[in-house]
């Protein structure tokens, strides 16, 4: 019977073999590429904005972070009552968040602290207080009439005019920060029941 002497195997003192590093580098680059693709897809489909100021009280608080869908209006039209993010028509580098009140063709009147849309008085439970200003606006094609929910402390269509639809970035979907105030944003249907002119 032939005997074999078994010597204890010693751990390799080499840091690694070249094949290991090639495999590791390939997997790292694949993961990095996948992360970049996912990031670009998320950027293409959504935006994240920070609420600055108090023009949307009580619906949105100063400092809240809001997720915005950039593709919502590719599948359905803008509705009265939607909360949207858009580029300011006078200062395109500035982004604002307001509520859509009037669609193309609508007539908006604000009189005696009431919103009158196409001849119908609208109840607005989401506003801070009734507006203290008066005015009348006719919304032309390819434009919107937008107002902040804090009607008396908001720079919006009542002060700078109508919003071109092509300035709309997307529809505000949810508040995701701070975590204690995470919530879906409501877009009340009561404005959608108003007859068109």
- Tens-digit pLDDT profile for residues 34-47: 767 665 555 555 57
- Tens-digit pLDDT profile for residues 77-106: 999 999 999 999 999 999 999 999 999 999
| Mean pLDDT, the chain, integer | 86
- Tens-digit pLDDT profile for residues 121-146: 999 999 999 999 999 999 999 999 99
- Known catalytic membership, residue 70: no
- Tens-digit pLDDT profile for residues 3-62: 545 555 555 545 556 777 888 787 877 777 776 766 555 555 557 889 999 999 999 999
pLDDT at position 20 is: 78
Residue holding tokens 């590093």? Answer: 21
CA pair distance 80, 83, nearest whole angstrom:
9
Summarize the confidence of residues 57-80 as an average pLDDT: 94
Domain 45-193 has what CATH class?
Answer: mainly beta
CA pair distance 34, 19, nearest whole angstrom:
23
pLDDT at position 45 is: 54
Select from 170, 151, 5, 1 the least CA-distant residue to 78.
170
CA pair distance 51, 63, nearest whole angstrom:
5
Q: What pTM was computed for the model? A: 0.78
**Could you tell me the residue ranges of all domains in the chain?**
45-193
- Tens-digit pLDDT profile for residues 145-190: 999 999 999 999 999 999 999 999 999 999 999 999 999 998 776 6
Catalytic residue among 5, 12, 46, 55: 55
Catalytic residue among 72, 98, 157, 171: 98
Are 177 and 166 in contact by the 8 Å Cβ rule? The answer is no
User: Which tops the pLDDT comparison, 62 or 196?
Assistant: 62
The vertex-94 CA angle with 63 and 68, nearest 5°, equals: 60
pLDDT at position 192 is: 62
- Known catalytic membership, residue 193: no
pLDDT at position 30 is: 74
């Amino acid at each position: 019977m032939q005997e074999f002497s078994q010597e204890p195997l010693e751990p390799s003192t080499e840091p690694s073999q070249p094949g290991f590093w090639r495999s590791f580098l390939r997997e790292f680059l694949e993961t990095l590429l996948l992360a970049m693709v996912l990031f670009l897809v998320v950027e293409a489909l959504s935006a994240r904005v920070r609420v600055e100021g108090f023009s949307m009280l009580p619906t949105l608080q100063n400092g809240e972070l809001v997720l915005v869908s950039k593709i919502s209006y590719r599948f359905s039209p803008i509705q009265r009552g939607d909360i949207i993010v858009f580029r300011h028509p006078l200062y395109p580098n500035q982004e604002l968040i307001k509520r859509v009140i009037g669609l193309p063709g609508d007539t908006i009147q604000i009189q005696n602290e009431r919103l009158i849309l196409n001849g119908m008085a609208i109840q607005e439970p989401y506003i801070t207080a009734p507006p203290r200003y008066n005015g009348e606006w006719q919304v032309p094609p390819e434009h919107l009439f937008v107002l902040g929910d804090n009607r008396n402390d908001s720079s919006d269509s009542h002060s700078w005019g109508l919003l071109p639809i092509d300035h709309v970035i997307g529809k505000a979907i949810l508040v995701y920060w701070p975590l204690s105030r995470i919530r879906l944003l409501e877009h009340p249907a009561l404005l959608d029941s108003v007859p068109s002119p």
